[in-house]
Amino acid sequence: MVAVSGALSGIFVVIANAWMNAPTGFDVVNGQAVNVRPLAAMANPAALPQILHMTLAAYAATGFAVGGIHAGLILRGRSAGFHRRALTIALLVGAPAAILLPLSGHYAAAHVARHQPAKLAAMEALFETRAGAPITLGGWPDVDARRTRFGIEIPYLLSLLAYDNPSAVVRGLDSIPRADWPHVPVIHWSFQLMAGLGTYLAGVGLWAVWLLRKRAPLHERRRFLRAVAIGTPMGFVAIEAGWIVTELGRQPWVIYGVMRTADAVTPMPGQLFRTGLFALIYVFLAVVVVVLLSRQILHSPMHTGEHRSPVG
């Protein structure tokens, strides 16, 4: 029940954010929102792509974080059945989600291409509208020169991923007023980080599925264990990078196409105190979680009759 309620609460949060990216369910008359339709707002075009992508990312991040901890402990000699079973269960959750993430990312990118072209152009540092637009790996977007330096271009791939047509025209930043550009370098590199880490987890996820199908003992595959251990923080780092792309990529709009962030900002006396207080509360909760997990995992039995260290 707790898992279901947590998943549902996360979905509703994502729906609210999706509405900010694709606002629907109301009309604007003389600067006022009228004819408000809550269900139509929840069914906005961005809701399904964002729900799928974020839910899969959450399961992948959690599965690999848990699996990585147990993989690391097994590498250090804790070969108890507790760690082996925990590793397998974590990967059964995280690996399929990580493998499906590129598909959900493709679905989400297709939505962004059609509804938020400035965000997609910033993600790929695409300054010029092009047919057969490329994917750019790495590189530094030079906004003043309107070019990406040191990047590696893969021709036609962006058009293919965004429109399922390698010759499709993809709007660049040149088709968007300069005042409506988001922060291109931060968004481009956040997207690169998210995509790179997600690709790594998907690759390790495929490796895990292959080993599980072979019924190979995971705790004896040291290279695999190292790969899982390295991926421990990657899912959560990728999620944070993805949220930077989602939120900063919407700028300068707080509600896309309806209200600018500058118009939404209002004075808030005492905000620094409230922010600091909530930060301290979350730090305290983080310490509590670390202590509880340490008691349950780090202080678990070293072994229960099995070999102390994996071989192979």
pLDDT for position 271: 84
Flag whether 130 is in a domain: no
pLDDT for position 304: 45
Residue type, 99: I
Flag whether 283 is in a domain: yes
Flag whether 26 is in a domain: yes
The model carries a pTM of 0.87
Flag whether 163 is in a domain: no
What total number of domains does the chain contain?
1
Neighbours of 273 (CB within 10 A): 9
Three-class HEC string of 28-76: EECCEEECCCHHHHHCCCCHHHHHHHHHHHHHHHHHHHHHHHHHHHHHC
261: tokens are 């962030």
Flag whether 138 is in a domain: no
Candidates 175, 174, 203, 184; CA nearest to 139 is 184
Flag whether 310 is in a domain: no
Per-residue pLDDT of the chain (312 residues; tens, 9 = 90+): 555 666 788 899 999 999 999 999 999 888 788 899 999 999 999 999 999 999 999 999 999 999 999 999 898 887 677 888 999 999 999 999 999 999 999 999 899 999 999 999 999 999 999 999 999 999 999 999 999 999 999 999 999 989 989 999 999 999 999 999 999 999 999 999 999 999 999 999 999 999 989 888 888 899 999 999 999 999 999 999 999 999 999 999 999 999 999 888 887 788 888 999 999 999 999 999 888 877 777 666 554 444 444 444
Flag whether 249 is in a domain: yes
pLDDT for position 300: 61
Q: State how far the Cα of 176 lies from the Cα of 2, in Å rounded to an integer.
A: 45
Residues 6+ apart with CB under 8 A from 102: 198, 199, 202
Which helix H or strand E contains 142, and what residues bound it?
strand 140-142
CA torsion through residues 208, 214, 217, 220, sign: negative
**Domain assignment of residue 11, given as a range:** 2-122+185-298
Q: State how far the Cα of 90 lies from the Cα of 95, in Å rounded to an integer.
A: 8
Flag whether 89 is in a domain: yes
At 169 the three-state DSSP class reads strand
257: tokens are 């196409």
pLDDT for position 6: 63
